[in-house]
A and B are shown apart, each in its own frame.
Chain A
Amino acid sequence: MSTVILVGETDGNGIKDVSQQVAGVAAGMGEVVGLVIGKNVSESAMKLAAGKVIIADDERLEYYDPVKYASIVSQVVQKNDATKVLMGATTMGKDLGPRVAAELGWGYLGDCLEASSEGFVRPDFAGKVLARSKPEGPLVASIRNNAYPIGESWSGSVENFSGDIPDSTLNTTSIEKIGAGTIELTEANIVVSGGRGLESPENYEALIRPLAATMGAAAGASRAIVDAGWVPHSHQVGQTGKTVTPDLYLAIGISGAIQHLGGMSGSKFIAAINKDPEAPIFKVADYGIVGDLFETVPVLKTKLEKL
């Protein structure tokens, strides 16, 4: 059986969900060797659902650096005779994956929707086309979050990375948190998003953010209002923004252009408020309210506050 290297990522609370999900995928493809890179990550790393976990825990690895990280992954691949490298399609995974593939001379599939021993599916053309492939040769792939059940949190043996950490001229000086106190879109259980129907940036601030706060949700936005400069790009949900898969996605004043649907149609439940009964969002929404959002949203907020 071939060996699959699973590059795991940690966050403040341990191993990221997405890494555990990819672990589940990897288990179906061969013998899984986990690899966690960072500083002070050993404890979290041991929770990675893999038969064996290699930990590269070093001062110099505090921040993600493609040069150092790619070299470490390549060294681990070679040492373990692996034929696949899998990782979550996070900002790190999507950056590291192709560089590792180039370094190893392997094939690369980025941002996969589905992955199994049967093959891979990725979205082309803003998700309007699904492309299947059955790679024969060795492969690096990054896989989207929340697409799979979380792998068992179990770890067999643990090994420390003993190879070289190359020098890099990249120097991470700081990490800036954006919107401290607000919930990150991709991690949120509930996402409340606003679109053109809000008519002005002021209404986004007056309606969407307070409602999101009430629901303990992250605030998202459609491309139209990001393009219009109402909210920063970090709020954008859709093919060119973030892909979210919360339990509930509440779309307010969003008509539901295909680009937007591509970024949220994986949500467990979708609810939509829009005045236009013909809006495409209603074709994907589990629950729809046809009505004026300026009337509906305040009522919703008041009622939720009373719950």
Chain B
Amino acid sequence: MNIAVLIKMVPDTESRLEIIDGKVKEDGFKYMVNPYDEFAVEQAVQFKEAVGGKVTLVSLFSDNTSIDTDLRKMMAIGADETIVLRQQEYSGNKPSSNARILSETVKELNADLIMCGVQGIDYYQAATGPMIAHFLGVPHVSGVTNLELSGDKLIASRQIEGGLQIVETPTPVLITCQKDMTKVRFPALKDIMMSKRKPFDNRDVGSEPGNDVQTTECSLPPARGGGVILEGEGPEEKVDRLIEKLKMEAKVL
């Protein structure tokens, strides 16, 4: 099975978020592999281990090479090759444009299965995956919590309100991975070191016009005012106060 896994490098969730002139200050960001994409890598490697084939990682990012170690770590999980598309003006907030560029590279790989995370933890649009599927002309299943190989078909469990939609699909197909899909292994140091010897292909790419909406202004969300701490002697009294509030003020009981 020939699998392409798309990896987005996203700012670490704990990065400092500062807004200057309506824009998020990005120069202090440390980048990490989008955690949802890690599920995709792990699942892809598991398929490769089960039926053979090749796993290629494709990422679109800026010239910043600080991310290379993180990508090598993904290769240490068991991927065979990494292609990083280097774009000077890269922004993670351009799903349409980014999907076009990525789909061109993925097309060349002739993958049976294309996988990525359900969303990036930077902009949470959950858009790039389905868009790439369209550009590749393949169907997609998003928010998949369980993916199984059954002969030459895949059975995907897609998280929906109140349950799961079980979808059977032949390849090629694009799958976006939700949290519960699989447990991502922690690569051994030996594997990380050895992954330095695997092909790591940097390719410069230009910009691609897309239809992305420009953000005009960023702000921090207003803090929600705290309410009252219910005082009382022991739990009994406190609970009485709470129930009274819920009945009289909130009117939810």
Contacts and interface: CB of A to CB of B under 8 A. Distances in A.
B131 A98 contact: yes
B54 to A, nearest CB: 23
A97 interface: yes
Nearest to A259: B13
B157 interface: yes
A171 B228 contact: no
Contacts of A288: 226-230
Given A94-B142, A97-B127, A102-B130, 17 more contacts: A64-B160, A98-B129, A107-B213, A110-B126, A125-B11, A129-B24, A129-B218, A133-B215, A135-B213, A169-B169, A169-B170, A169-B173, A215-B253, A271-B242, A277-B229, A284-B226, A287-B245
A282 interface: yes
Contacts of A111: 124-126
Interface string B123-157: 11111111101110001111101000000000101
A7 to B, nearest CB: 15
Contacts, number: 264
Contacts of A99: 130-131, 133-134, 140
B140 A66 contact: yes
A70 interface: yes
Given A111-B124, A125-B11, A189 B252 contact: yes
Nearest to A104: B211
**B interface, size bucket:** 35 or more
B252 A172 contact: no
A108 B235 CA distance: 50
Interface string A287-299: 1111110011001
Nearest to A280: B226
Nearest to A242: B161
B64 interface: no
A265 B227 CA distance: 13
A226 B179 CA distance: 10
Given A124-B124, A126-B124, A173 B166 contact: yes
B161 A173 contact: no
B227 A303 contact: no
B190 to A, nearest CB: 27
Contact of B239 (A90, A133, A284, A296): A296
Nearest to B227: A286
Contacts of A90: 161
